[in-house]
Structure 1
Amino acid sequence: MSSDNILETRGLVKEFKGFVAVNEVNLKVRRGSIHALIGPNGAGKTTCFNLLTKFLDPTRGQILFDGVDITKEKPAQIARRGVVRSFQISSTFAHMSVLENVRVALQQTLGTAYQFWKSESTLNQLNMRCMELLDEVGLTEYSHLPAVELPYGRKRALEIATTLAMEPKLMLLDEPTQGMGHEDVDMVTQLIKKVAANRTVLMVEHNMSVVGSIADMITVLQFGQVIAEGPYAEVSRNPQVLEAYMGSAEEALQGAHG
């Protein structure tokens, strides 16, 4: 595997009782890039993410991370290698403060993640790093606020901070702007761009303007297969891609009228 690529899949297949959800996907994610996985609903994007993080086992194929075959590894092993998916550790603790949420994620670095009976003072050594992470995602002024009181877009920023606390080599972001208003979408888009400056990001995203503004490379899936790959300018003009998206829009309209 080329050292330029941090992640590679070879002939990745996932079947569910005869239904092929992911079909011979060959994916190469370049180190230090933002790579977007897009496609209409049911294209196999989330299944791909579940295979990469081993929430699902592939039917066939190989997954290589940093040159190592991780196909048979468990989710915890893969997370320890530095493949961190936003939702895995980002379901925020609503009634803990923003700082405490990040501190819980940082406890892994101390090896005390499950020693909840330890004195809180032993965790204070993490506060400086917590504040650095909160500063990176623009949440310094919210540090003592209970997470439940954060506006929706800021909750996503907190999720990204807890993901960063795990020191990921590869961040997997699943629909990071889903359900957001325009202002929050812009904020989170800029945040992803900022945190990706010295990291690698693979994201599933529906919002094409987000993808167009920050993705270096785009892989388009339809019916579990890769139908196009390349930069946004190239992919957005691809007739197969346009048909895949227009087709799903027409079906949605027909469904609405039916």
Structure 2
Amino acid sequence: MTGSDLILSAKGMTKQFAGFMAVNNVDLDVRRGSIHALIGPNGAGKTTCFNLLTKFLQPTSGTISFNGRDITTLGASEIARLGMVRSFQISAVFPKLTVIENVRVALQRRRGTNFDFWRAQTVLGEFDAEAMRRVEEVGLEDFAHHTAQELSYGRKRALEIATTLALEPEMLLLDEPMAGMAQADVERISALIKSISAGRTILMVEHNLSVVADLSDTITVLARGQVLAEGGYETVSKDPRVIEAYIGVGHG
């Protein structure tokens, strides 16, 4: 893989907490335009790894680069401006605003406009057409004028994705997007992730192995803070070390 094929790359990424090695010398390359999953049993270090990559934590040692630029010392808001956005954490969903109003707020944020809710409707209306395009992109056009608090859990997740897409990320980082969902919502959000991946790169931490199998181009398996295996689902699911460390401990 050439440098231009990579959008995100970590080399020797390590995080130590008071003597405990949570992430130990991890190398990770995410290919541009791919859906890349980070999986592993509880305590494998995947959440810490994800927090390091999204700059919610700083590594003890190692380097992280995005689009060839060293982002090791940058913060989460700085990498968001570079085009790498962590959904469900950074996206703002206001329960009493409508779906389209929530997306409009995200558009204002991207363009550096103050959140002047009291400004004339004609001024704010300039964002409506683009906001509706984002709403349609995530399949919420029938709920555009419903408040966020009226939405089902799965549709709230879709709204969170819409507000994130309004920031026009080149790379989207999803932290357990299917957590706590009913099967119908899992299928809806899985289809949504697949549809929005066109022209974007997605890195996700996910427990649902059927989702990972269906969506991911590449899977990195972590165990005890280290990379255990990497490849497509067919490859990693048959790896004896993965079966022992992950599938063999009751995850399915």
Partner of 1:24: 25
Matched, 1:171 2:172: yes
Give the CA deviation at 1:197: 1.3
Report the secondary structure of 1:219's partner residue.
Answer: strand
Partner of 1:254: none
CA distance in 2, matches of 1:118, 1:224: 50
Partner of 2:244: 243
Matched, 1:214 2:183: no
Report the secondary structure of 2:161's partner residue.
Answer: helix
1:1-258 equivalence runs, <5 A: 2-116=3-117, 118-249=119-250
Q: Deviations over 1:175-230 (max 9, x none)?
A: 01111111111110000000001110000000000000010000000111100000
Aligned residues of 2:88 and 2:157 also touching (Cα < 8 A)? no
CA distance in 2, matches of 1:103, 1:89: 16
Give 1 or 2: higher helix fraction. Answer: 1
Report the secondary structure of 1:36's partner residue.
Answer: strand
Report the secondary structure of 1:78's partner residue.
Answer: helix
Aligned residues of 1:104 and 1:113 also touching (Cα < 8 A)? no
CA distance in 2, matches of 1:70, 1:40: 28
Report the secondary structure of 1:201's partner residue.
Answer: strand
CA distance in 2, matches of 1:114, 1:132: 21
CA distance in 1, matches of 2:234, 2:199: 24
Q: Deviations over 1:101-160 (max 9, x none)?
A: 111111123211444554443221111001101111100010000000101111111011
CA distance in 1, matches of 2:172, 2:241: 29
Counterparts in 2 of 1:103 and 1:89: CA distance versus 1, 3 Å:
farther
Root-mean-square deviation over aligned CA pairs: 1.4
CA distance in 2, matches of 1:147, 1:239: 45
CA distance in 2, matches of 1:89, 1:120: 26
CA distance in 1, matches of 2:74, 2:136: 34
CA distance in 1, matches of 2:8, 2:117: 35
Q: Matched residues, percent identical?
A: 58
Q: In terms of mean alpha carbon deviation, does 107-116 or 154-163 score higher?
A: 107-116
Aligned pairs, number:
250
Counterparts in 2 of 1:246 and 1:203: CA distance versus 1, 3 Å:
closer
Counterparts in 2 of 1:113 and 1:228: CA distance versus 1, 3 Å:
farther
Q: Which amino acid aligns with 1:244?
A: A
Report the secondary structure of 2:3's partner residue.
Answer: coil
Q: TM-score, normalised by structure 1?
A: 0.93
Q: Which amino acid aligns with 1:6?
A: I
Q: Which runs of 5+ in 2 are unaligned?
A: none
Q: Which amino acid aligns with 1:229?
A: E
Q: TM-score, normalised by structure 2?
A: 0.95
Q: In terms of mean alpha carbon deviation, does 88-97 or 111-120 score higher?
A: 111-120
Q: Deviations over 1:29-85 (max 9, x none)?
A: 000000000001111111112111211110000000000001011221111001100
